[in-house]
Structure 1
Amino acid sequence: MRDACSIWSPSPFLRWVLLPGLLLLGLVIPVSAITMANDPHGYREFRWGMPLTGIPDLTVTRENTHTIDYEFRDRPPVYADIPVDSVLLSTVDAQFARVTIRYSSAQAHKQVLQYLERTYGAIERLPGQMMRGLNQQYTWRGPDTEISLTYEANRDRGFIFIESRNLAPRFQDRMSDTAE
């Protein structure tokens, strides 16, 4: 007679469910971390930690107790001369800490990825590594800046987060403190 433990023994479970699931996940989500070649220490002329209040080119889009989000005023959203859906600059405790860029289309993704590789360092492509998938994630890390790129092929949209490595963790800290 079989008991419950023998029916659900780890070896068939690992062999038929967990292992194929992990292999499939590895094909779907390629993730790379690249050491950044040129740390920008901010975004454009804005350096990490500086206050963004009173800058005439920016307009406030959302304001909370500890965070303020800004967009560029009277200018279409672009990143590296690539048209994008939005560019949002965020401060935490009045210090510039993050840029969030949203874009759509595979063409924009290709241009953004080429720009990031050219500017911050090439992605190491290993033999057999899949560079396409339902979700692609890449990260460039510098001493002061982390740039994360996520592209969702099934929704044809991408996100770039350019963050201060020192200040960005405060977003999570402040949200958990105030439940914003």
Structure 2
Amino acid sequence: MDAFLTHRPIQHLIPPSGPARLSSTAVVFLSIFFFAGFLLTASPASAVPMTNDPNGFEGIPWGAVFSETANFVVAEEAGRIKGYELKGGPPPLGPIVIDSMRFMTVDGKFARVIVKYHGSDTHQRVVEYLQARFGPLDATPGQIAGGAFQEYAWQGDESQISLTYNKRRDLGVIFFESRALASSFAEGMMPIPDLGGATY
């Protein structure tokens, strides 16, 4: 399987099965890092077929059990949902430097990765990278939202990728997630202020 993260592979860093040692509740971060199915509110026609479904992220399969280790630390938790980050900071997305990367679990199962970045140049590189990796976007007028927000989506049998870019705030957020587990995030989700209050 080709790696998403070319500079810092993380497949070998997957935490072993076992009970997680949980950090104190970090509710203030919930509105930023996890919420309901990023572009799941978009119509199915807006998602292009994924040409290379990874069934996970960087070799870590969807549904894998996470726990806090020397490499991963619990960054937030709220009931059934927990978020982990690499202690060394976010690795690049392919060749692209990003702002943050959070690995989300629901009921202890790996289900989603949230990537944040900023900058129009970075956004262009991200879109090009995702198209090269997962297939070209549908350029039909109306399939890609214009205005203040640009939205893109890829859908495979096991995985889906959703991207929203806020042009006014120059902020992009990407979801890599399990289709089977995505609906489990619906409860307790909060809007993202940087994306105009939308609950994606």
Range into which the TM-score falls when normalised by the shorter chain: 0.7 to 0.9
Counterpart code for 1:146: Q
1:20-59 equivalent positions in 2, closer than 5 A: 32-59=46-73
Residue identity over aligned pairs, in percent, reads: 38
Instruction: Output one character per residue of 1:125-148: Cα deviation in whole Å (capped at 9) or x when no partner.
Output: 237987864211011000010100
Please say which of residues 49-58 and 89-98 is displaced more in the overlay: 49-58
Match of 1:146 in 2: 160
8 Å contact kept, 2:84–2:103: yes
In the alignment, structure 2 segments of 5+ residues that lack a partner are 1-44, 190-200
Whether contact under 8 Å (2:150, 2:165) holds in the other structure is yes
108, 115, 126: which is aligned to 2:122?
Answer: 108
Q: How many residues align?
A: 146
Larger radius of gyration: 1
- CA RMSD in angstroms comes to 2.3
Higher percent of residues as helix: 1
Residues 65 and 154 of structure 1, relative CA distance in 2, 3 Å threshold: same
C-alpha distance in structure 2 between counterparts of 1:122 and 1:64, whole Å: 36
Instruction: Tell me which residue corresponds to 2:88.
Output: 74
1:47 Cα shift? Answer: 0.7
Q: Which runs of 5+ in 1 are unaligned?
A: 1-30
Residue pairs, 1:125-144, within 5 angstroms: 125-126=139-140, 133-144=147-158
Q: Which of the pair is proportionally richer in strand?
A: 1
CA-CA distance at 1:161 after TM superposition: 0.5
Whether contact under 8 Å (1:77, 1:85) holds in the other structure is no
Counterpart in the other structure of 1:99: 113
Partner Cα separation in structure 2 for residue 121 and residue 110 of structure 1: 15
CA distance 1:76–1:65, change in 2 (3 Å):
closer
Larger relative contact order (C-alpha < 8 A, sep ≥ 6)? 2
Paired AA for residue 139 in structure 1 = A
From 169, 177, 195, the equivalent of 1:163 is 177
Paired position in structure 2 for 1:62? 76
2-structure distance, mates of 1:165, 1:57: 26
Distance in 2 of aligned mates of 1:45 and 1:124: 27
- Evaluate the alpha carbon distance shift between residue 128 and residue 139 of structure 1 in structure 2; reply closer, same or farther with a 3 A threshold: closer
| Distance (Å, rounded) in 2 between the aligned partners of 1:130 and 1:170 | 26
Task: Answer yes or no: is the 8 Å Cα contact 2:117–2:173 preserved in 1.
Answer: yes
CA contact (8 A) 1:102 1:157 kept: yes
* TM-score using structure 1 length: 0.74
CA separation in 2, counterparts of 1:128 and 1:168? 25
